[in-house]
Amino acid sequence: MGDERQSVRQVGWPDSWSSLSSAERVRAVAAAVADGTTAVAGQILGLTTEQIREVERDQPAPLPEAYRCFLLLLGGGAGHFMQGTDVYHPRILGLWSAAKELLEENASPFRLQETDRVISMHQGYQFDFLRGSGDDPEVWSYYEGGSPGNVPTATHERLTDWLRGIAAREISSWHRLTAFYREEQAKHAKDRCLYYYRINPDGTRTEEF
């Protein structure tokens, strides 16, 4: 493959990451994913004040500042970033109850506390939640069939570190995939290995990425 396929997108995170405020770290993540590939400007959708209040009413405890900033900047969607995971409004509504049910269905001895705030769920078998006080609390994660002792574990010291880790992985992945897709697009149809299209209501197909 050409150099474009092999190259890996390196995200330029601020050297002063730890000294930034939680809101500044969230803004750095938002800026990184709006790279024209992972997401374009028009796909970055923040929530209104009322929508953020709706999310807060759905959780058993107040939202920390870092998560509130995430919702304000990215809470309505961000292109390919975390695509397929219930992390955006309105699909985040009801996640605390869904996570509680998942633990009970798997006979986990762990119980969510009333101060925990569930922030994401993937395909109904994995979820992440915030635990602790402060404006940028810890992230704990549970994976059905994969969590030691069948209980959630602390995976990141701060929500913003969790966001940064996901962004770094996904930005690199989407740049590699986009290069591969463009390479395939340039080939004659009979020589392609990959097709990605949308079926329209009238039955026609629109090729897209």
CB contact at 8 A, 152 and 141: yes
pLDDT of residue 200: 74
Does residue 38 surpass a pLDDT of 90?
yes
User: Is 64 a residue whose pLDDT tops 60?
Assistant: yes
Average pLDDT rounded to a whole number, residues 177-185: 69
Helix, strand, coil percent content, the chain, rounded in steps of 5: 40, 15, 45
Q: Rounded to whole angstroms, how far apart are CA atoms 153 and 76?
A: 27
Q: Is the pLDDT of residue 143 over 80?
A: yes
Residue 74's domain is classified under what CATH number? 3.40.1580.10
Q: Is the pLDDT of residue 183 over 80?
A: no
For 33, the domain range is 3-8+15-207
Over residues 68-91, the mean pLDDT reads: 97
**What per-residue confidence (pLDDT) applies to 207?**
64
Strands 138-143 and 126-131, sheet pairing: antiparallel
Total structural domains in the chain?
1
pLDDT of 184: 67
Q: Give 92-143 as a DSSP string.
A: TTTHHHHHHHHHHHTT-S----TT-EEEEEETTTEEEEEESSSSS-EEEEEE
